[in-house]
């Protein structure tokens, strides 16, 4: 059975994925941004091994999340599920001076990928909105343009696909893929979201632990257990490297070579 770590697993798709993995007999470590949310997560997911604590909006706390995970041993899979949506009406800076959306949705998975001991599989949660993400990767911190919450979110979800594909290229021994869970009825998606909620979390579980040959692939973009064509820019190696360079500069954390 597999050892799986899931970021942002106090509620929503992360919690649902954790519950399914435990039902299947796997060992799951949860993540929450603070102690109160951690207690809620452990109560909501009976059978979870433990929970690591850290606010992914903070570079320092994200580093500490990686330290906590590494102290628990080597994991078979990491699901980068944590994210915030597009409802922020203004640019909210973090303690590091970064836009809240960029810090959590883009930079945190980059830092965790770089610092957590390499698992066998990596899954990055993206969105269909990544298709409208800004492929230029200019003004990542929204210092020159007027803030647009939905565009900032779309950009960050394109970043997640770029990161997944960059890791797949750099670390060929790791299965690294991106997932669009669909517009599903979670707190982020809202009650009227039309997509299949069960398929929204089953896909990342399948990629994390399945022995199905269709799941043991790398550098792919999935929607409801099937591959789907991502934004063509996500395959551009120069763009991948540009994002990695920017994330390294912001975090002072380098993604190891193979």
The H or E element containing residue 62 is: helix 59-71
- 153 belongs to the catalytic site: yes
CA gap 171, 124 in Å, rounded: 15
Which DSSP symbol is given to 72? T
Instruction: Produce one character per residue of 117-155: b if its CB has 16 or more CB atoms within 10 Å, e if not.
Output: eebbbbbbbbbbbbbbbbeebeebebeeeeeebebbbbb
Answer for the pair 149, 88: CB distance below 8 angstroms, yes or no: yes
Cβ-based neighbour number of residue 256 at 10 Å: 11
In a 3-state reduction of DSSP, which class is residue 215?
A: coil
Cα gap 29→18, rounded to integer Å: 8
Is 74 in the active site? no
Check 86, 124, 153, 201 and give the catalytic one. Answer: 153
In angstroms, the CA 70 to CA 41 distance is: 20
Element (H, E) at 152: helix 149-170
Which entry of 110, 124, 157, 201 is annotated as an active-site residue?
A: 157
Give the separation between CA 209 and CA 142, rounded to whole angstroms: 37
Please list the active-site residues.
153, 157
């Amino acid at each position: 059975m597999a050892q799986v770590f899931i970021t942002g697993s106090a509620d929503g798709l992360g919690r649902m994925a954790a519950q399914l993995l435990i039902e299947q007999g796997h060992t799951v470590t949860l993540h929450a941004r603070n102690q109160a949310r951690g207690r809620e997560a452990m109560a909501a997911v009976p059978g979870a091994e433990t929970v690591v604590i850290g606010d992914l909006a903070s570079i320092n706390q994200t580093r500490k999340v990686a330290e906590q995970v590494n102290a628990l041993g080597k994991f078979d899979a990491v699901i980068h599920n944590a994210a915030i949506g597009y409802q922020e009406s203004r640019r909210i800076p973090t303690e590091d001076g970064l836009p809240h959306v960029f810090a959590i949705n883009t930079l945190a998975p980059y830092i965790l990928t770089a610092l957590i001991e390499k698992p066998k599989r990596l899954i990055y949660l993206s969105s269909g909105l990544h298709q409208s993400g800004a492929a230029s990767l200019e003004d990542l911190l929204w210092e020159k343009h007027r803030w647009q919450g939905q565009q900032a979110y779309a950009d960050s979800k394109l970043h997640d696909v770029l990161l997944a594909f960059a890791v797949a290229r750099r670390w060929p021994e790791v299965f690294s893929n991106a997932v669009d869970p669909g517009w599903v009825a979670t707190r982020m998606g809202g009650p009227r979201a039309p997509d299949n909620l069960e398929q929204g979390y089953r896909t990342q579980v399948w990629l994390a632990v399945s022995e199905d040959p269709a799941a043991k692939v790398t550098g792919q973009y999935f929607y409801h257990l099937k591959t789907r064509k991502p934004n063509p820019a996500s395959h551009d190696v120069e763009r991948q490297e540009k994002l990695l360079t920017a994330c390294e500069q912001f975090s002072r954390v380098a993604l190891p070579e193979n």
